[in-house]
Amino acid sequence: YTPGEVAAISELCRSRGLGLHMDGARFANALVALGCSPAEVTWKAGVDILSLGATKNGALAAEAVVIFTESLRARADEMGFRRKRAAHLFSKMRFLSAQLEAYLTDDLWLANARHANAMASRLAEGLAALPGVRLTHPVEANELFPAIPPAIRDGLRKDGFEFYDWPDAGPDGARLICAFDTREEDVDAFLKSARFHADAA
């Protein structure tokens, strides 16, 4: 969502007496794709609480809850109790949480996301050039949803590539995700296999 779209959702929430929580599992990927600051797409756009995700961008089981709205901060003391009661408190949590310092230092989190997004764009460009393959949605971050003909899909799987079928993208829909550690050679190997099976079909 763009900052303007988030603001519109926030206005709708406010008109109904609701707060707005942002699921930030891919927050860094969205920021680098949008080219905006964290503030522009969160509290300035009316977000009350952000779940700042790090696990899908290089961390191990590390997330943070960021509360922007003053009236909700007063209830932040309850968070520790609620986290423990819901069985989300790990022993030695400080070791998991310490990752966030390295994650944010020198904008590592944004560099990781920038790389993942670039790999997704590379993959999308290569797939779009294949006969019968169609991108069902614009590639805006590190996920893509192509429709891949069965002959290519089956061939990719036989060659050892794993991916989800994604019926929301149509009968041949697939969900492909590039991560902080996806290498160019990984993308190129996938494309080489897809190209081979497209030519053989």
CATH number of the domain that residue 35 is part of: 3.40.640.10
Nearest to 116 by CA among 32, 22, 18: 32
Pairwise CA distance, residues 178 & 201, whole Å: 26
One domain, residues 194 and 133: yes
pLDDT at 81: 78
pLDDT in tens, 105-161: 999 999 999 999 999 999 999 999 999 999 999 999 999 999 999 999 999 999 999
For 87, the token pair is 């069985």
Evaluate whether residue 111 is within a structural domain.
Answer: no
Domain boundary among 97, 127, 153: 97
* Tally of structural domains, the chain: 2
Q: Is residue 103 part of a domain?
A: no
Does 140 share its domain with 192?
Answer: yes
pLDDT given for residue 38 in this prediction? 97
Say whether both 93 and 121 belong to one domain: no
My answer on whether 41 and 125 are in the same domain is: no
Determine the 3-state secondary structure of 65 from DSSP: strand
Give the range of the structural domain holding residue 180, as residue numbers without chain letter. 117-200
Q: Is the pTM of this model over 0.75?
A: yes
Can you name the residues that pair with 64 across neighbouring β-strands? 52
Classify residue 108: in a domain, yes or no. Answer: no
Asked if the structure places residue 104 within a domain, the reply is no
CA distances from 2 to 30, 61, 65, 131 (A): 9, 27, 21, 32
Residues 151 and 74 in one domain: no
Question: How many residues appear in the chain?
Answer: 201
Per-residue CA distances from 165 to 104, 139, 145, 154, 173 (Å):
34, 17, 9, 11, 6
Residue 178 is assigned to a structural domain of this protein: yes
Return the closest-CA partner of residue 148 out of 161, 125, 160, 166.
Answer: 166
| 51-77 mean pLDDT | 90
**Does residue 191 share a domain with residue 144?**
yes
Q: What is the pLDDT of residue 83?
A: 78
**Same domain? 125 vs 86:** no
- Helix ranges (H only) for 57-143 are 70-73, 77-85, 93-97, 99-104, 108-128
**How many CA atoms within 13 Å lie on the side-chain side of 173?**
12
Question: Which two tokens mark 168?
Answer: 């929301």
Is 90 exceeded by the pLDDT of residue 94?
A: no
Inform me whether the pLDDT recorded for 89 exceeds 80: no
Same domain, 69 and 141: no
Give the tens place of pLDDT for each residue, 5-62: 999 999 999 999 999 999 999 999 999 999 999 999 999 999 999 999 999 999 998 8
